[in-house]
Amino acid sequence: MRAPLRLLCVLLLGLAGLAAAQAIDPLPFKDHAQEVRFQQLTSQLRCLVCQNENLADSNAGLARDLRHEVFEQMQQGKSDDEIKQYLVARYSDFVLYDPPLQAGTVLLWFGPLLVLLGGAVAVAVTIRRRSRRAVPATPTETGDDDW
């Protein structure tokens, strides 16, 4: 469902004919392990041109350039973190699909935990209240209705 934006994006950038097909980009990897590492890393980086695509999938010209840059840096022995830092320094945290934990993203990362804890308290209170009223076992309820 992300696709329509591709078209839109192609129109916006006036790159018609260049993009819209997908990014298939054979690169001379040292070995398969490096190829896998490359695929994993680029799939966690966001393309700035067609913004709902990752670098691995985007066929935008810039995405291709950035992929090649990532590839080059891998050949130079840079770590994933170093490569990410390189991109963040130029394009801001926006390129990271995995938002780093910072002051601004505390709510993002721990919000769900808060919801879970709040809900857990409510559930615990409910169960406690209801079980206190529990009558001794009534094993008579074995009707089909009551499976």
Partner 1 sequence: MTPELGQLALILALLLALAQGILPILGAWRGNAALMALARPAAAGQAVFVGLAFAILAWAFLQSDFSVAYVANNSNLALPWYYRLAAVWGAHEGSMLLWVTILNVWTVALAAFSAQLPDAFRARVLGVLGLIGVGFLAFILFTSNPFARLLPVPADGADLNPLLQDPGMTFHPPVIYMGYVGFSVAFAFAIAGLLGGELEQAWVRWSRPWTNIAWGFLSAGIVAGSWWAYAELGWGGWWFWDPVENASFMPWLVGAALVHAQAVTEKRGSLRAWTILLSIFAFSLSLLGTFLVRSGVLTSVHAFASDPRRGLFILGFLVVVVGGSLLLYALRAPKVVGGKPFALVSRESAVLVGNLLLTTAAAMVLLGTLFPLIGDALHLGKISVGPPYFGFLFTLLMLPVVLLLPFGPFLRWGGSGGGAQLRSVLLRVSVAALACAIVAAFFADGRLKAVAGVAGAVWAGTGTLLYVYKRWREMPRGRRYPAEMAGMLLAHAGVGVFVIGVLLSESLSTTRDVRMAPGQTQSIGRYDFRFDGVAATRGPNWHAEQATVTVSEDGRTLATMHPQKRTYLRGQVQTESAIDPGIVRDLYVALGEPMDPQHLEGAWALRLYHKPFVRWIWGGGLLMMLGGFAAAADRRFRTKRQAGADETVPAGAQESHA
Partner 2 sequence: MSRLLPFFGFLLLVALFGFGIWWNTGHDQREVPSPLIDKPAPAYALPKLDDPAQTVSKAAMLGHPYLLNVFASWCIACGEEHPVLMAEGRTLGIPVVGYNYKDAPEDAKAWLAQHGNPYDLIVADREGRTAIDFGVYGAPESFLVDAKGVIRYKRIGPFTPEAIERELKPAIAALQRETP
Structure tokens belonging to residue 6: 């591709």
Strand partners, 45: 96
User: Does 22 sit near partner 2 (CB under 8 A)?
Assistant: no
Listed residue (56, 63, 71, 55) closest to 13, CA to CA:
63
82 lines the binding site for partner 2 (CB under 8 A):
no
Return d(Cα 66, Cα 47) in angstroms, integer.
Answer: 9
Report if residue 123 touches partner 1, rule: CB under 8 A.
yes
CA atoms of 31 and 18, how far apart (whole Å): 29
Stretch that binds partner 1, among 2-10, 70-78, 79-87 (CB under 8 A): 2-10
* Residues 61-90, interacting with partner 1 (CB under 8 A): none
Closest of 45, 50, 85, 80 to residue 66, by C-alpha: 45
User: Out of partner 2, partner 1, none, which partner does residue 55 contact, by CB within 5 to 8 A per kind?
Assistant: none
Figure out which of the listed residues 14, 24, 33, 89 binds partner 1, where binding follows CB under 8 A.
24
CB of 74 to partner 2, least distance (A): 16
The answer to whether the CB of 132 falls within 8 A of the CB of 138 is: no
Residues lying near partner 1 in the complex (CB under 8 A) are found at: 1-8, 16-17, 19-27, 35, 39, 43-44, 46, 51-52, 54, 57, 92-99, 104-105, 107-109, 111-112, 115-116, 119-120, 123, 126-127, 129-139, 141, 144-147
